[in-house]
């Protein structure tokens, strides 16, 4: 049984999709949960209410991880509310898919700044309090796109591959203080985005996945909960693929 009682988690972009599922899972295991959101205040309020319904404290913080000052402010707000951050989940991410020859500079920049730079700024902001506590769990949400690359996703694949490098560098730098850093690499997961894909494309994606189905956000959240727990205390610098066998490395 994973026990996160007494722990505080901070999740970037935690109001919907995978981030929301992670927040609910960590709260269900006993953690209090702070999460950032960019603009959808209604979704943020709903998620905070769902976390509180599980008997845990919740804090929704509006912020944009692309901005280092905003990332600092998100971390500061969580620390002021809860006094500590034991678990950081860098989940914030966007897509702006296009072929390389057609991809605009803005689409390249926006994805890198959100998916990779944002994780760096938030990690940087929690480093000092975690070092002081001599403990912490940092979990980055990467992707199979960062492991294998995807056509039309040069920006997204680059950012998610960069997250893997950031994970390993963070793990090496912080290990001596008892802080671990790992990544979870989801495969094709049922979210608002994938549910709207054409049926023939969904069938192709399922056919490519050895286990023959999409994953669920709850399955991604379960992997995060494990890496956040004491059971994973001797695991750092690793990439845990939750992809139905799609990328075997």
Q: How far is 27 from 63, CA to CA, in rounded Å?
A: 21
What does the block give as tokens for 7?
Answer: 């722990």
Q: How far is 67 from 202, CA to CA, in rounded Å?
A: 35
Give, in degrees to the nearest 5, the angle at Cα 29 between 142 and 191.
40
Closest CA to 4 of 56, 74, 76: 56
Q: How far is 179 from 198, CA to CA, in rounded Å?
A: 42
Question: Residue 100 gets which letter from DSSP?
Answer: G
Q: Compute the half-sphere exposure of residue 156: CA atoms within 13 Å on the CB side of its CA.
A: 20
Backbone φ, ψ for residue 154 (5° rounding): -60, -40
Question: Length of the chain, please?
Answer: 249
What does the block give as tokens for 3?
Answer: 């026990």
Q: Which residues are catalytic?
A: 156
């Amino acid at each position: 049984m994973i026990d996160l009682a007494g722990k505080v988690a901070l999740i970037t972009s935690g109001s919907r999709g995978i981030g929301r599922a992670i927040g609910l899972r960590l709260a269900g295991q006993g953690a209090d949960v702070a999460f950032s959101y960019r603009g959808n205040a209604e979704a943020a309020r709903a998620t905070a209410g769902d976390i509180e319904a599980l008997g845990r404290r919740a804090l929704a913080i509006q912020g944009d991880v692309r901005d280092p000052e905003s990332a600092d402010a998100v971390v500061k707000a969580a620390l002021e509310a809860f006094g500590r951050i034991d678990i950081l989940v860098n989940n914030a991410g966007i897509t702006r898919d296009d072929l390389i020859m057609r991809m605009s500079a803005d689409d390249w920049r926006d994805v890198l700044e959100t998916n990779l730079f944002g994780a760096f700024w938030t990690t940087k902001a929690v480093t000092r309090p975690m070092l002081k506590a001599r403990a912490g769990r940092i979990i980055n949400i990467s992707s199979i796109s960062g492991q294998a690359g995807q056509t039309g996703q040069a920006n997204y694949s680059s950012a998610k591959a960069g997250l893997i490098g950031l994970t390993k560098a963070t793990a090496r730098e912080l290990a001596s203080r008892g802080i671990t850093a790992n990544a979870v690499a989801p495969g094709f997961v049922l979210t608002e985005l994938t549910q709207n894909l054409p049926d023939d494309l969904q069938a192709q994606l399922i056919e490519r996945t050895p286990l023959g189905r999409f994953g669920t956000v709850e399955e991604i959240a379960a992997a995060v909960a494990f890496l956040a727990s004491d059971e994973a205390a001797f695991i750092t610098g690793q990439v845990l693929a939750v992809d139905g066998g799609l990328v075997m490395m």
